Structure 1
Amino acid sequence: MHVKFCGFTQLSDIQTAAQLGADAVGLVFYPPSPRAVTIEQAQTLSAAVPAFVSVVALVVNMPKDELVKLANDVPFDIIQFHGDETPEQCEQLASSVNKRWIKALRINAEQDTPDSVRAQIAQFADAGASSILLDAYHQAAYGGTGQRFDWSLIPHDSALPIVLAGGLDAQNVAETSNLPIYGVDVSGGIEVDKGKKDAAKMRAFMKAVKRDRWQNATVTDAI
């Protein structure tokens, strides 16, 4: 189980996340978000990320010229497309800056089924995505709502590794251990306020994930 902490605005929080062993940190480049950062903030935050920890740039319907500028100014590793981008648009935008990318799909329990989610994932796989992120649908927001969707809609034979987001925290992340996912993405569940992380919550989250890793490894070894 890989862990991405997202929505950083504070340097000390980035440093804590790295010390705790987070696999990736996310920076939000979507001005309407309360967790959005400027180019200048992102430069300072990304400079504090050690080697082997990925910096993920979260963008929402960002035009090509803005993405090119962002890539020239901020040393990030992966693009997370979190808007209405089509598979073709994601591929074209990512190619313009030579970056790997993932796509966030907002899952709507009233419309989606495991088959429809599987089909959407396949389209992004064909376009070159490295992974897919599944988050809860909200009619007024693109993400970061802290809401959880129906996990029974997660397909078991996805064409891409699945990262689960939406309403996760240290208390419920253990429930994800048997899901067909590659990693988890958390923002609000480790915060004291939007964009400001809580060190104790980050530590508790990582402890819960590592406990599951150890238990799963023990079961596998026993088998």
Structure 2
Amino acid sequence: MESRESVAEGLRGAVGRLAAKGLMRPGDTLSQRIPERAEIARITCPDAAVRARDVVWTPLDRGRSPDPHRAVYAARGDVGAILEGRQVWGRTVGRVGRPMPALFDEQVRHLGLAVPLATGPALSVPRASTNALVWDDRVLCFGMGLERLLLNAELLEKCAQAFVLAETSGRRVRRVPWWVRLVANRRLSRDQAEAAQRHAGGERSVIRAGY
């Protein structure tokens, strides 16, 4: 079983990586499911350097909770890590006023068929085929594990930038062909089912190499 110190070190490294790329700002939160401990490890991006005591541990349960992180983990067995942040382009999708459609095959493969918009004080957890959404002025991004989440956060910001620029230019935004969406989404669903099974068994999910 991985020690808490090791988990904390991994989260601090993830915060550093995201912050360096402008994907995490002071006050944004990152959490990780630790299935072997039945706990959630969470860290908030501070103004100063992150220290081990900045990691907060809470029980992983299946009850309802107003906390969006715990709500997602309880409802989505496939999710192994969550970023709740204020990425520049991701937030701007909400200002466009409509969900971001499937623009790229890699987007569908890892983020799902669309990036929906949500409002209100309580989060309505999206279905399994959705790994990102814009909630009011925040962006929620999910991953089956911490490393997958980091890649998904980077992918989301790139896709959001392309979508916002295309939308504001007045040109027609086209989705990838239906058969590409079908194949890519099936592969995502396969990986999510495997991750949910591993999490239920007290194990971490394993990131798949390649497409």
TM band (smaller chain) = 0.3 to 0.5
TM-score for the superposition, normalised by structure 2: 0.35
Instruction: Indicate the structure whose relative CO is greater, using CA pairs within 8 Å and at least 6 residues apart.
Output: 2
Normalised TM-score (structure 1): 0.34
